[in-house]
């Protein structure tokens, strides 16, 4: 109906809905909206949980907390997962700022992990442990850089589509890893198992007796470094310019090809670090599913953090928190592993929606507005009398209270007016 | 006997009278009761309030294998009076580091005993057992507990070959019946295995010996899928076996691929770890399964001040760990239940042994010297008739599968005696492997 009518008077175009960009929100509005999104997402999750297991509304929150912060070990685990996800997002950020759509973090991390594994498996015992760890790190970074630079070279010199290129490199990486595991484990179970389980050669040491702590600290340092690199270095500025407009970049004398390749070397190096931390610091083994989709989740984390390293911490933490808490709740409700993925999906959905409503205003056509007004009038018709009824009852009550409390109020007003220092007022006026 | 005779007479009459729904009426008249009953023994004097159990499963309840563990766990939980919060069940945990992560998360959540259900979980369970010495770790089908010698790491299994054998007897009776009805039916059965592990070899050999105890000239083709759960591969496996002439099929893989393929092609099927009668009503014969509930009860008792458990724990038919189901309502044949119940008695009193060396023959082929040819059954010794007199099995797991333990004694291959997980990997005559790449 609407479409037909619109066609009739197409001189005056009045689309059903059109969006207008709003100015960037203030920081406190922005964070308030994030907070509200978390609350709304949690409520939706709880409601869905309650629908699947009636009466579990409260338990949902209980288990979400128990699954994440019930013990110091588990708390550390939340931060470890946050750290890995954050590091992947950080690796992607410089490339994304340059509008180089690198969706190959999954493969870049995996190939780095392969490099670390090769060193850990075949060089163990031939050199001191500290050197072995260093060789693992070097090899994983080298492998990942190669994996990231291949698409970059093709992009810089032949202008190939980097999205497809990096995506396909993921499959190559996972195929390669599967191949090597198959070659190393001839019995066909394709389970490499823990490498150096007794000697712990190549394992990152525990810090203060805690697993993962070294990973978390590394990521904190890298976060700061990437922030500085993007915000204050010449390189960081150059890649932003290349992202905004390659012509402008050329005009001001930036070597675009060099910038693309250099940025992807950085991207790959950080991915290699992730692979190293996963193998040497976390799993001590390798399989094709080691990264388990975090290379892709990292993309969302980077975007939702608006490429600001500190903002990304928030999203990465939330993903880790919901995944761990959700899987614990799922264990008890007998929902299976897909449950925590459903929760994550809801969170991302609400987050992206909040971003949308924060940055765009929805303008409805006059017809729709009239329709909304009708609905409004309808409700006014129903609720109006009720409102008036309540007004009738409560107005005298209110007047009565006013009569009683007005003198009290006046008394307090007098009391505080005397204490108020008059000097403060001009200062606030100046501001 | 008289009563039974009357029953089958009634069946005949029923078939004659109600030709339209004759099959159902006939089936209802058979005795299908071969299902084992058992009782969970619980030490009620123990306090279970401090127990928190974690169960790690490779797949979820869509896989008959994992469903079997989950159902057994819920059964044990109810019997022990544990709350849902005291039992964490995590499904979909791959045979990779996620297993160790799941262990760590469960320990962090306060679990004091954790059980994992898949073969590939073992290395990660051992890693976790080393990491958390105050928590007990149990692993089904694993082989390393008796060599790792960790006080908190245990391997559990059951003498499922007895269940397989009984299921094989049911299949044999069906095959005999098919041959009697139609002389052209070949004496050939088929089997779909997941991997060429000893667990699978032991299973299909026991099943084959069960069939062979009824139809002596039977042969069997075996095909492998290389996965515990691959619906398409299992379905294709069944079709491949049918092409090769198998008239009856069983499997050791966890999806409904093979049972549904059999149902579509009218091939009688014996399933494992759960009834597939609902999805394959016309062709479902019987299933055998390991009932883990007794094991879970023992496991919970052991961390509540009860009896401690050793490195290897093998459940058996006496404690209710190895069960055979009731017969399928439509595919099974009359007289089967009586025969099977009789075989059960013989197994129980020891007069019948599944891996009786006089019941099968073995051919030894020495390696030809070509690369990749390791020969067949080189760890075996046989007498003039081809019966096994000695076999060195790989009981202590190592990378090269070095045979290390003599397992033939008293005219029997002593399965599950030196460790809980199966180590029977003899290739006996009459079984033809179509592919061995897994």
Tell me the C-alpha distance between B393 and B355, whole Å: 14
pLDDT class of B21 with cuts at 50, 70, 90: very low
Residue B228 and residue B235 in contact, taking contact as beta carbons nearer than 8 Å? no
What total of structural domains would you count in chain A? 2
A422 and A275 assigned to the same domain = no
B107 close contact with A: CB closer than 8 A: yes
A293 close contact with B: CB closer than 8 A: no
For residue B323, is it left (φ>0), alpha (ψ between -120 and 50) or beta? Answer: beta
Q: What is the pLDDT of residue B29?
A: 56
A265 and A385 assigned to the same domain = no
A135 and A266 assigned to the same domain = yes
Q: What is the pLDDT of residue B374?
A: 75
Q: Give the number of A-B residue pairs with CB atoms closer than 8 Å.
A: 82
End position of a domain, from candidates A302, A333, A364: A333
Four-residue CA torsion sign, A357, A363, A365, A367: positive
Mean pLDDT rounded to a whole number for chain A:
85
End position of a domain, from candidates A333, A354, A388: A333
Q: What is the pLDDT of residue B39?
A: 81
A67 close contact with B: CB closer than 8 A: yes
Q: Is residue A139 part of a domain?
A: yes
A327 and A395 assigned to the same domain = no
C-alpha distances in Å from residue A206, one per residue of A209, A215, A281, B99: 5, 10, 9, 21
- Judging contacts by C-beta atoms under 8 Å, the chain A residues touching residue B108 are 70-71, 73-74, 77
B95 close contact with A: CB closer than 8 A: yes
B90 close contact with A: CB closer than 8 A: yes
Q: Is residue A221 part of a domain?
A: yes
Q: What is the pLDDT of residue A7?
A: 54
Q: Is residue A355 part of a domain?
A: no
Q: Verify whether the Cβ–Cβ distance B90 to A73 is below 8 Å.
A: no
pLDDT in tens, B154-184: 999 999 999 999 999 999 999 999 999 988 8
Give yes or no for residue A10 having a pLDDT over 80. no
Q: What is the pairing mode between strands B431-433 and B412-413? A: unpaired
Check residues A370 and B88 and name the one with the higher pLDDT. B88
pLDDT class of B5 with cuts at 50, 70, 90: very low
Q: What is the pLDDT of residue A396?
A: 86
Q: Report the chain A residue with the minimal C-alpha distance to residue B89.
A: A331
Q: Verify whether the Cβ–Cβ distance B109 to A328 is below 8 Å.
A: yes
Check residues B296 and B255 and name the one with the higher pLDDT. B296
- Judging contacts by C-beta atoms under 8 Å, the chain B residues touching residue A79 are none
A164 and A305 assigned to the same domain = yes
Check residues B25 and A32 and name the one with the higher pLDDT. A32
Q: Verify whether the Cβ–Cβ distance A287 to B120 is below 8 Å.
A: no
Give yes or no for residue A6 having a pLDDT over 80. no
Q: Report the chain A residue with the minimal C-alpha distance to residue B106.
A: A328
Mean pLDDT (whole number) for A408-423: 70
Q: Report the chain B residue with the minimal C-alpha distance to residue A288.
A: B96
Residue A90 and residue A226 in contact, taking contact as beta carbons nearer than 8 Å? yes
pLDDT class of A82 with cuts at 50, 70, 90: very high
Mean pLDDT (whole number) for B259-281: 89
Q: What is the pLDDT of residue A4?
A: 53
Domain that holds residue A91: 73-333
Distance in Å, alpha carbon of B392 to nearest chain A alpha carbon: 19
Residue B432: its H or E element: strand B431-433
Q: Report the chain A residue with the minimal C-alpha distance to residue B400.
A: A187
Tell me the C-alpha distance between A407 and B225, whole Å: 88
Q: Verify whether the Cβ–Cβ distance A327 to B124 is below 8 Å.
A: no
Q: Is residue A23 part of a domain?
A: no
- Judging contacts by C-beta atoms under 8 Å, the chain A residues touching residue B109 are 66-67, 70-71, 74, 328
A116 and A198 assigned to the same domain = yes
Q: Verify whether the Cβ–Cβ distance B195 to A189 is below 8 Å.
A: yes
B150 close contact with A: CB closer than 8 A: no
Considering only CB atoms, A77 lies closest to which of B97, B104, B195, namely B104
Q: What is the pLDDT of residue B4?
A: 44
Mean pLDDT (whole number) for A69-83: 87
B60 close contact with A: CB closer than 8 A: yes
Between B19-23, B67-71, B173-177, B228-232, the lowest mean confidence (pLDDT) is in B19-23
What percent of chain A shows pLDDT beyond 70? 92
pLDDT in tens, A250-308: 888 888 888 889 999 999 999 999 999 999 988 888 888 888 889 999 999 999 888 88
- State the DSSP code for B278: T
Segment 213-252 of chain B within 8 Å of chain A by CB: 226
A311 and A393 assigned to the same domain = no
Neighbouring-strand partners of residue B277:
none
Q: What is the pLDDT of residue B297?
A: 93
A209 and A127 assigned to the same domain = yes
Q: Which of B59, B96, B130 to mutate to test the interface with A (most CBs of A within 10 A)?
A: B96
pLDDT in tens, A293-333: 899 999 999 998 888 888 899 999 999 999 999 988 988 88
A332 close contact with B: CB closer than 8 A: yes
Q: Is residue A353 part of a domain?
A: no
Considering only CB atoms, A336 lies closest to which of B91, B95, B196, namely B91
Residue A416's φ and ψ, nearest 5 degrees, are -75, -30
Residue A136 and residue A158 in contact, taking contact as beta carbons nearer than 8 Å? no
For residue A168, is it left (φ>0), alpha (ψ between -120 and 50) or beta? Answer: alpha
pLDDT in tens, A84-121: 999 999 999 999 988 889 899 999 999 999 999 999 98
End position of a domain, from candidates A333, A361, A392: A333
Q: Is residue A60 part of a domain?
A: no
Q: How long, in residues, is chain A? A: 431
Residue B244 and residue B165 in contact, taking contact as beta carbons nearer than 8 Å? no
Q: Verify whether the Cβ–Cβ distance B95 to A189 is below 8 Å.
A: yes
pLDDT class of B18 with cuts at 50, 70, 90: very low
Residue B48 and residue B300 in contact, taking contact as beta carbons nearer than 8 Å? yes
For residue A249, the domain's CATH number is 1.10.3470.10
Q: Report the chain B residue with the minimal C-alpha distance to residue A333.
A: B84
- Judging contacts by C-beta atoms under 8 Å, the chain B residues touching residue A67 are 105, 109
Q: Is residue A51 part of a domain?
A: no
Q: Is residue A327 part of a domain?
A: yes
Q: What is the pLDDT of residue A418?
A: 59
pLDDT class of A134 with cuts at 50, 70, 90: very high
A423 and A275 assigned to the same domain = no
The vertex-B81 CA angle with B77 and B86, nearest 5°, equals 60
- Judging contacts by C-beta atoms under 8 Å, the chain B residues touching residue A336 are 60, 91-92
A287 and A397 assigned to the same domain = no
Segment 172-231 of chain A within 8 Å of chain B by CB: 187-189, 191, 193-194, 197
Q: What is the pLDDT of residue A9?
A: 53
Q: What is the pLDDT of residue B15?
A: 43
Q: What is the pLDDT of residue A428?
A: 44
Residue B109 and residue A66 in contact, taking contact as beta carbons nearer than 8 Å? yes
pLDDT in tens, B335-373: 888 888 899 999 888 889 999 999 999 988 888 777 767
Distance in Å, alpha carbon of B384 to nearest chain A alpha carbon: 33
A151 and A252 assigned to the same domain = yes
Q: Verify whether the Cβ–Cβ distance A327 to B123 is below 8 Å.
A: no
A280 and A404 assigned to the same domain = no
Q: What is the pLDDT of residue A188?
A: 56
Distance in Å, alpha carbon of B203 to nearest chain A alpha carbon: 18
For residue A334, is it left (φ>0), alpha (ψ between -120 and 50) or beta? Answer: left
Alpha helices in B118-195 (DSSP H): 122-131, 145-148, 160-181
Which residue is it, tokens 């896989």? Answer: B63
């Amino acid at each position: 109906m609407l479409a037909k009518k619109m066609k009739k008077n197409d001189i005056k175009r009045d689309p059903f809905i059109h969006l207008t960009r709003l100015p960037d929100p203030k920081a406190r509005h922005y964070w308030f909206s994030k907070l509200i999104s978390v609350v709304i997402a949690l409520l939706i999750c709880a409601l869905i949980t309650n629908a699947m297991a009636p009466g579990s509304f409260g338990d949902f929150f209980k288990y979400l907390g128990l699954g994440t912060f019930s013990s110091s070990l588990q708390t550390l685990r939340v931060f470890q997962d946050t750290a890995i996800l954050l590091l992947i997002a950080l690796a992607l950020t410089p490339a994304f700022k340059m509008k180089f759509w690198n969706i190959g973090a999954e493969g870049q991390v995996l190939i780095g992990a392969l490099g670390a594994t090769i060193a850990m498996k075949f060089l163990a015992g031939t050199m001191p442990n500290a050197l072995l760890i260093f060789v693992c790190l070097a090899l994983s970074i080298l492998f990942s850089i190669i994996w990231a630079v291949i698409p970059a070279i093709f992009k810089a010199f032949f202008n190939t589509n980097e999205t497809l290129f990096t995506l396909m490199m993921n499959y190559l990486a996972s195929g390669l890893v599967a191949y090597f595991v198959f070659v190393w484990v001839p019995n066909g179970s394709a389970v490499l198992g823990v490498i150096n389980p007794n000697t712990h050669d190549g394992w990152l040491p525990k810090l203060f007796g805690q697993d993962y702590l070294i990973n978390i600290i590394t990521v904190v340092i890298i976060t700061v470094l990437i922030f500085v690199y993007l915000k204050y270095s010449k390189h960081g500025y150059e890649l932003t310019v290349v992202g905004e407009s390659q012509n402008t970049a050329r005009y001001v004398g930036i070597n675009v090809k060099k910038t693309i390749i250099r940025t992807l070397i950085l991207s790959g190096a950080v991915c290699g670090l992730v692979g190293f931390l996963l193998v040497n610091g976390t799993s001590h083994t390798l399989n094709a599913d080691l990264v388990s989709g975090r290379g892709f989740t990292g993309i969302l984390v980077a975007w939702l953090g608006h490429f600001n390293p500190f903002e990304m911490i928030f999203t990465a933490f939330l993903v880790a928190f919901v995944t761990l808490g959700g899987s614990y709740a799922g264990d008890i409700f007998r929902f299976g592993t897909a449950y925590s993925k459903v929760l994550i999906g809801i969170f991302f959905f609400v987050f992206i929606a909040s971003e949308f409503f924060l940055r765009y205003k929805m303008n409805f056509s006059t017809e729709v507005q009239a329709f909304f007004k009708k609905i409004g009038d309808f409700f006014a018709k129903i609720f109006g009398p009720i409102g008036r009824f309540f007004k009738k009852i409560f107005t005298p009550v209110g007047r009565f209270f006013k009569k009683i409390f007005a003198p009290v109020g006046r008394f307090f007003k007098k009391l505080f007016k005397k204490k108020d220092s008059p000097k403060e007022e001009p200062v606030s006026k100046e501001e | 006997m008289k009563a039974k005779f009357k029953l089958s007479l009634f069946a005949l009459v029923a078939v004659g009278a109600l030709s339209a729904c004759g099959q159902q009426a006939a089936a209802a008249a058979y005795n299908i009761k071969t299902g084992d009953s058992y009782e969970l023994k619980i030490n009620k004097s123990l306090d279970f309030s401090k127990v928190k159990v974690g169960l790690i499963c490779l797949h979820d309840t869509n896989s008959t294998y994992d469903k079997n563990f989950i159902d057994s766990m819920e059964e044990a939980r109810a019997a022990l009076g544990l709350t849902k919060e005291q039992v964490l069940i995590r499904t979909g945990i791959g045979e990779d580091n996620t297993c160790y992560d799941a262990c760590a998360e469960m320990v962090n959540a306060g679990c004091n005993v954790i059980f994992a259900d898949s073969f590939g979980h073992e290395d990660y369970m051992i890693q976790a057992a080393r990491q958390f010495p105050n928590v007990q770790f149990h692993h089904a089908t694993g082989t390393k507990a008796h060599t790792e010698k960790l006080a908190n790491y245990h391997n559990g299994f059951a003498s499922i070959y007895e269940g397989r054998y009984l299921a094989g007897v049911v299949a044999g009776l069906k095959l005999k019946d098919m041959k009697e009805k139609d002389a052209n039916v070949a004496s050939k059965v088929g089997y779909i295995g997941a991997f060429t592990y000893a667990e699978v070899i032991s299973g299909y050999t026991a099943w084959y010996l069960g069939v062979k105890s009824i139809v002596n000239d039977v042969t069997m083709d075996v095909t492998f899928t290389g996965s515990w759960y691959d619906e398409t591969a299992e379905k294709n496996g069944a079709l491949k076996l049918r092409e090769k002439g198998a008239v009856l099929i069983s499997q050791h893989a966890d999806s409904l691929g093979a049972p549904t393929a059999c149902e579509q092609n009218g091939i009688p099927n014996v399933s494992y770890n759960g009834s597939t009668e609902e999805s394959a009503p016309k062709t479902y014969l019987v299933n055998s399964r390991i009932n883990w509930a007794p094991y879970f009860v023992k496991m919970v008792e052991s961390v509540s001040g009860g009896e401690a458990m050793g490195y290897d724990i093998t459940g058996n038919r006496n404690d209710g760990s190895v069960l055979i189901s009731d017969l399928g309502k439509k595919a099974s044949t009359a007289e089967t239940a009586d025969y099977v119940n009789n075989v059960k008695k013989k197994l129980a009193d020891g007069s019948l042994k599944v891996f009786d060396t006089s019941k099968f023959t073995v051919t030894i082929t020495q390696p030809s010297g070509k690369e990749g040819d390791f020969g067949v059954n080189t760890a075996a010794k046989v007498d003039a008739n081809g019966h096994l007199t000695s076999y060195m099995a790989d009981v202590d797991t190592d990378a090269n599968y070095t045979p290390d333990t003599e397992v033939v004694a008293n005219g029997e291959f002593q399965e599950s005696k030196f460790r809980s997980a199966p180590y029977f990997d003899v290739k006996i005559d009459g079984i033809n492997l179509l592919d061995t790449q897994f």
